[in-house]
């Protein structure tokens, strides 16, 4: 900070300009707390076929509770279009595990959008970023968002928003609309809602 001030001082003296890049007194060391803390996880079950359970493959990466920590973490994660097929990133509210078995997910479900890989290119990075920002920015009603997951597969990417409830009602409908708006989803992409209890037996309905 001191260095920026000095450099700027020299420029203003030389050029007599009055527009400053950093407002006087701005403290760049201030941090901005998130409403909740959020934890990033990564898994790639294919790399460890010997795992005794699905959960054993989940690797907790980092928990963030400020805007600044979030960007520090996110900018250092490998971009999703560069990850190996069969891997997943999960971002869940601190204290909620990204698994059906967690009590917070017991009655929940997930909105799911599938992006054909050939047509997504690296725009998938932007879709994922927008979903992550919506989640940590608490954009969904009734504190419904437990977390979000991106699945990297050979032919497609799949982004899911996990909600704490799964009853088809106004709140969930509004979340579906919100997702479309916040991600700026092309109309041709459909979105499904899958209650977790159906996920376990592969049932879904399309919104």
Residues lying near ligand MGP in the complex (CB under 6 A) are found at 54, 99-101, 151, 153
Instruction: Kindly state the smallest distance separating residue 100's Cβ from ligand MGP, in Å.
Output: 4
Residues 6 or more apart in contact with residue 11 via CB below 8 angstroms: 17
Which lies closer to ligand MGP via its Cβ, residue 71 or residue 205? 205
Q: Rounded to an integer, what distance in angstroms lies between the CA atom of residue 135 and that of residue 178? A: 11
Residue with CB nearest ligand MGP? Answer: 99
Which lies closer to ligand MGP via its Cβ, residue 36 or residue 198? 198
> Which sign does the torsion angle of CA 21, 26, 27, 30 carry?
negative
Which lies closer to ligand MGP via its Cβ, residue 51 or residue 133? 51
Angle at 72 between CA 151 and CA 56, to 5 degrees: 40
Strands (E), 11-107: 33-43, 59-66, 88-93
Which lies closer to ligand MGP via its Cβ, residue 54 or residue 71? 54
Which lies closer to ligand MGP via its Cβ, residue 81 or residue 99? 99
Instruction: Kindly state the smallest distance separating residue 21's Cβ from ligand MGP, in Å.
Output: 46
Instruction: Kindly state the smallest distance separating residue 112's Cβ from ligand MGP, in Å.
Output: 8
Instruction: Kindly state the smallest distance separating residue 157's Cβ from ligand MGP, in Å.
Output: 11
How much of the chain is helix, strand and coil, in % rounded to 5? 35, 25, 35
Q: Rounded to an integer, what distance in angstroms lies between the CA atom of residue 180 and that of residue 168? A: 17
Q: How many of the other CB atoms lie within 10 Å of CB of 11?
A: 13
Dihedral of CA atoms 120, 117, 180, 184 in degrees, nearest 10, equals 0
Instruction: Kindly state the smallest distance separating residue 51's Cβ from ligand MGP, in Å.
Output: 11
């Amino acid at each position: 900070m001191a260095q920026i001030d000095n450099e700027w001082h020299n420029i203003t003296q030389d050029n007599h300009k009055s527009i400053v890049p950093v407002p006087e007194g701005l403290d760049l060391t201030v941090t901005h707390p998130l409403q909740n803390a959020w934890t990033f996880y990564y898994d790639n079950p294919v790399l460890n076929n010997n795992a005794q359970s699905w959960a054993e493959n989940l690797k907790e990466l980092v928990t963030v509770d400020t805007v600044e920590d979030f960007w520090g973490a996110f900018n250092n994660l490998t971009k999703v279009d560069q990850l190996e097929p069969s891997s997943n990133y999960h971002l869940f509210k601190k204290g909620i595990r990204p698994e059906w078995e967690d009590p917070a997910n017991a009655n929940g479900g997930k909105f799911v959008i599938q992006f054909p890989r050939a047509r997504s290119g690296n725009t998938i990075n932007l879709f994922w970023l927008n979903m992550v920002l919506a989640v940590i920015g608490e954009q969904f009603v009734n504190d419904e968002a437990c977390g979000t997951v991106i699945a990297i597969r050979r032919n497609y990417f799949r982004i899911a928003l996990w909600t704490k409830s799964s009853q088809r009602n106004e709140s969930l409908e509004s979340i579906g609309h919100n997702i479309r708006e916040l991600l700026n989803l092309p109309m041709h992409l459909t979105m499904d809602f899958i209650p977790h209890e159906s996920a376990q037996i592969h049932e879904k309905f399309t919104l």
